[in-house]
Amino acid sequence: MLHVGMNIEDKEKLPTEVARVLRPGSPFGIYDVMRTGPGDLAYPVPWATTADLSAVAEPERYKNALRKAGFTVTAERNRRDFALAFFADLRAKATAAGGPPPLGLHLLMGKSTPEKVQNMIDNISKGRIAPVEVVARKL
C-alpha cells in the first residue's frame, strides 16, 4: 500500500479488509506518511488541503490495527532522511532545468504544488511526519 493511509480515517478496518483477501503467510507492506512527532502540520500538503481532510496517524496505530486483523509485524523503517534527500534532488533538478519536468507531481497537484511540497518538506524537517515502511505477514 503506497501513500494511501493518509486519506483513510478508519485505520482499524483497513487491514481487516486486506486480511480478508490475503492467504495465510502472505506479506503486506505499507509505505505511508505517518505522524512521527508533535506539532500542528502546515497545510496544504500533497494529500490534503486542510487538517480536516487529513488522516495521518502514528506508526503504532497502523501496527496495532495490523495485529488486531491477524498480522504479525515483521519490520518498520522511518524513511525521513530518504524523503528529505528525494525532495532536495527534485528541487535541484527543477532548478537546473528551469522548471518542473513535463511529467511530474505538478500535473497531479496543480498550481499549489510548490506550496504543498514545501509544507511537506517543512513538516518532515521538523519531525512531525515522515514516510514510514511497515511490513507485516498474515498469520
Chain-wide mean pLDDT for the chain?
95
110's grid cell: 496543480
The structure's pTM equals 0.91
**Spatial separation of the C-alpha atoms in residues 102 and 42, rounded to whole Å:** 27
Is the CB of residue 79 less than 8 Å from the CB of residue 130?
yes
**Spatial separation of the C-alpha atoms in residues 71 and 25, rounded to whole Å:** 9
User: What's the rounded mean pLDDT across residues 30-34?
Assistant: 98
**Spatial separation of the C-alpha atoms in residues 132 and 79, rounded to whole Å:** 6
Question: Residues 59, 75, 55, CA angle at the centre, nearest 5°?
Answer: 20
pLDDT tens per residue, range 52-102: 999 999 999 999 999 999 999 999 999 999 999 999 998 898 889 998 888
- Model pLDDT, residue 42: 98
Class of domain 5-138: alpha beta
**Spatial separation of the C-alpha atoms in residues 55 and 45, rounded to whole Å:** 12
List 132's β-bridge partners, or say none.
32, 78
Say if residue 9 is exposed, middle or buried (CB neighbours under 10 Å; 0-12, 13-18, 19+).
exposed
- Model pLDDT, residue 101: 83
- Model pLDDT, residue 96: 93
> Could you tell me the residue ranges of all domains in the chain?
5-138
